[in-house]
Homo-oligomer: A and B are copies of this chain.
Amino acid sequence: MEEKRKHYDISNYEKPLVTVDIVIFTIKDHDLKILLVKRKYEPFKGYWALPGGFVRTKEPLENAAMRELHEETNVEDVYLEQLYSFGEVTRDPRGRVITVSYFALINSEHLDLKARTDVEDVNWFSMYNLPKELAFDHKKILNYALTRLRNKLDYTTATFQLLPKRFTLTELQKVYEIILNKSVDKRNFRKKIKSLNLLIETKETKMDGTHRPARLYLLKKNAPFII
């Protein structure tokens, strides 16, 4: 009987804290950027950190991530995916904190950071030029996220979230080049994209400068997520 209670009563177990942390990617100024917040309080006061926070008791994990995301940005049309859970015992000096990390891809248009009171500063950083030290194990989380993002490029359409609805093939190619951090042959790239049959060619073009205008495309309404 006592043994039975031991197994049934949930309150006997010590509880770690659970947070979510989000790697928010966007492409801005021809660069892969991620959002960081400067911590106003200890621990790691003054350090840049991933946006995140504690999971509320009646809140699904994904909602917690989405809530934190909305607290930082006003964007809709967000692609959000769980990344990995980090559970080193000493990752937070305050005590046992397990974090479930997410990564988000947001459209480079209409970026609009909100004013916040609980952080000292918010900013976009180039993934290729991060602050030397980040709070907690957030550097590790970022590297993990970059690897995942690069892999997704190959076999999913998730990365179209980084572009406006209508985009040119050159813009699409730049997304690939910026994420992979290497250049790609224009002819092979276009051949590949066209063979996947994911895009609709619009009648509009985009002019910017003194040269031939580029055709605008959009992703098919029900293009497969996994190619």
Interface residue count on the A side (C-beta < 8 Å): 37
Nearest B residue to A100 via CB reads B85
- Stoichiometry, copies per complex: 2
- Interchain CB contact (< 8 A) of A13 among B17, B41, B118: B17
Contacts of A7 in B (CB 8 A): 40-41, 118
Known: A7-B40, A18-B98. Is A61-B82 also a contact (CB below 8 A)?
Answer: no
A209 at the interface (CB under 8 A from B): no
CA distance A205 to B28 in the complex (A): 60
Give the dominant DSSP class at A's interface. loop
Among A35-93, those with CB < 8 Å from B are 40-43, 54-62, 82, 84-89
Judge whether A15 is part of the interface by a CB distance below 8 angstroms: yes
Cα distance, A13 to B55, chains bound together (Å):
9
Instruction: Report which of B56, B85, B94, B96 forms a contact with A85, defined as CB distance below 8 A.
Output: B85
Is A8 interfacial (CB 8 A cutoff)?
yes
The answer to whether the Cβ of A221 comes within 8 Å of any Cβ in the partner chain is: no
From A15, which residue of chain B is reached at the shortest CB distance? B15
Min CB gap A116→B, angstroms: 13
